[in-house]
């Protein structure tokens, strides 16, 4: 349900941009934070705040895969199946997770609590294969570790991303994506040794090259 408070937040978002319609993407995330999907009520609210038609809002919302038109449930599960993740086991992870959830691509689990999606490269290939839970990274997963994570979420246990942040739920994440700031940006680790390995080698080679040029 789109409350008066949320409409006020939408207006604040619109005021942040030189052209207010640029606020539509975060506003659609706000809509999903309210109802775990893009509802007709949410589309109407976006259109009213931005002074555009509902057809224009719908055209944008249906273009981007992050916006859903059926209830996502408590958690969104993404499994990357692009080149590096696929080669390192992403397809096997997806198959096992799909079996565990009783779900197919871009659809709900049998119990309606999860949403499963094959996702494109998340720019996290260093830790392939990668799964996301509510868009938080689960690095270096295996078919079994991925299912273990689902089991723990289903049991209501606390689950933490391998990069630090605690998993909340889909609607909480959507609110984060909609807000200009929720003060969570510094939560977790940004980089680790594995991510920096290429940079360290490149710097070492540059030093060696400079040394041989000077000799």
> Strands of 107-108's sheet, edge to edge?
107-108, 114-119, 75-80, 131-133, 136-138
Only one of the segments 18-26, 38-46, 124-132, 166-174 lies at the binding site for ligand FES (rule: CB under 6 A); that segment is 124-132
Rule CB under 6 A: choose which of 66, 92, 121, 154 binds ligand FES: 121
- Taking the C-alpha atoms of residue 126 and residue 108, their distance in angstroms, rounded to an integer, is 29
83 binds ligand FES (CB under 6 A): yes
Binds ligand FES (CB under 6 A): choice among 20, 82, 113, 145 = 82
Residue 92 near ligand FES by CB under 6 A: no
46: CB partners within 8 A, 6+ apart: 10, 24, 27, 28, 31, 52, 57
Any contact of residue 88 with ligand FES (CB under 6 A)? no
123 versus 185: smaller Cβ distance to ligand FES: 123
Q: Do residues 112 and 76 touch, judged by C-beta distance below 8 A?
A: no
* Segment 25 to 54, residues that bind ligand FES, using CB under 6 A: none
Query: Which of these, 174, 163, 143, lies nearest to 75 by C-alpha position?
Result: 174
Q: Does 125 engage in binding with ligand FES (CB under 6 A)?
A: yes
Query: Are residues 108 and 71 in contact, defined by beta-carbon separation less than 8 angstroms?
Result: yes
> Which residue spans within the chain are E strands per DSSP?
75-80, 107-108, 114-119, 131-133, 136-138
Nearer residue to ligand FES within complex by CB, 54 or 139: 139
The secondary structure element, H or E, covering residue 187 is none
Report yes or no: 168 and 175 within 8 Å, Cβ to Cβ.
no
Task: Give the binding range for ligand FES (CB under 6 A) out of 3-11, 13-21, 33-41, 79-87.
Answer: 79-87
Q: Residue from 25, 60, 66, 84 that binds ligand FES (CB under 6 A)?
A: 84
Single out the residue of 31, 46, 79, 85 in contact with ligand FES (rule: CB under 6 A): 85
What is the contact surface with ligand FES in residues (CB under 6 A)? 80, 82-85, 121-122, 124-125, 128, 130
């Amino acid at each position: 349900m789109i409350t008066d408070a949320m409409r006020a937040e939408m207006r604040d978002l619109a005021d942040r941009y030189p052209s207010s319609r640029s606020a539509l993407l975060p506003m659609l995330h706000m809509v999903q934070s309210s109802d775990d999907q893009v509802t007709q009520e949410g589309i109407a609210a976006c259109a009213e705040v931005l002074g555009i038609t509902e057809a224009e809002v719908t055209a944008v919302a249906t273009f981007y895969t992050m916006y859903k038109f059926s209830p996502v449930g408590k958690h969104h599960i993404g499994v990357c199946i692009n080149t590096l993740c696929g080669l390192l086991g992403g397809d096997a992870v997806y198959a096992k997770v799909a079996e565990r959830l009783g779900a197919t691509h871009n659809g709900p689990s049998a119990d309606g609590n999860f949403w499963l999606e094959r996702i494109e490269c998340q720019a996290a290939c260093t830790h392939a294969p990668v799964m996301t839970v509510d868009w938080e990274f689960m690095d270096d997963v295996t078919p079994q570790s991925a299912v273990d994570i689902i089991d723990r979420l289903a049991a209501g246990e606390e689950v933490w991303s391998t990069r630090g942040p605690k998993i909340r739920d889909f609607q909480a994440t959507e609110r984060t994506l909609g807000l200009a700031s929720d003060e969570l940006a510094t939560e977790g680790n940004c980089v680790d040794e594995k991510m920096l390995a290429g940079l360290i080698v490149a710097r070492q080679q540059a030093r060696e090259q400079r040394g041989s040029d000077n000799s």
